[in-house]
Amino acid sequence: MGSKNKYSVLLPTYNERENLPLIIWLLMKYFKEIGCDHEIIIIDDGSPDGTLDVAKQLQDIYGEDKIVLRPRAKKLGLGTAYIHGIKHATGNFIFIMDADLSHHPKFIPEYIKKQEDGDCDVVSGTRYIGEGGVYGWDWKRKLVSRTANYITQVLLRPGVSDLTGSFRLYKKDVLEKLISSCISKGYVFQMEMIIRARQFDLKIGEVPITFVDRFYGESKLGGTEIIQFAKGLLYLFATT
């Protein structure tokens, strides 16, 4: 498939020591299969579990041109991790995804194909169409996710089926523009990015993905985050 584009993967990490070697290996494997130039930017937020040490070992294995380390001293959140990472990205396209293996790199070729076929500004993974789905979630989390998505669809009519997904491909200049226009941080940030993309009339493509709940470690989505999500949603509704 090979393309002249270069893809930078922004991988924010916090306590992902067990997952990092596997996600990096998988990313390398799928980029190599399609022959695309790539780099993986690991933005570790001061993980106490030694994630950064593992990242350094991986850098020794794969090379500094492929594994770029841009750590920060403490946990500063997703939105700022992307802002920090994008400054160091040399690709003209940017993938953002989670490091906890809930997003499988095997979908990367599909994202790239979708983007190239439709010249999309944004390609977003969706759990809600085609072959997409969620594995390893109990009914409560599925219900919360579906309900959140449903309310968002009704209020904001975003034109995509899965707003809270965080596995996406952006044109670099588009991502910079979207980030600078976003106000929210944390869980709502992913959603606001898509809402803003719609406001700017950007071309958004969707790829069905399966989302697998975390292999190792605790889930990051708790009750307080759901409340933040609801607040953020109402805020977006009031301002868009």
Give residue limits of the domains in the chain. 6-239
Cα separation, 216 vs 145, in Å, equals 21
- Asked whether the predicted pLDDT for residue 1 surpasses 70, the reply is no
- pTM score of the predicted model: 0.79
pLDDT at site 169: 96
Q: Quickly state the pLDDT bin for 216 (edges 50, 70, 90).
A: very low
* CATH number for region 6-239: 3.90.550.10
Give the residue-averaged pLDDT of 172-200.
83
- Asked whether the predicted pLDDT for residue 29 surpasses 70, the reply is yes
pLDDT at site 166: 79
What is the DSSP secondary-structure string of 62-124? H-TTTEEE--BSS---HHHHHHHHHHT---SEEEE--SSSSB-GGGHHHHHHHHHHHT-SEEE
- Asked whether the predicted pLDDT for residue 62 surpasses 60, the reply is yes
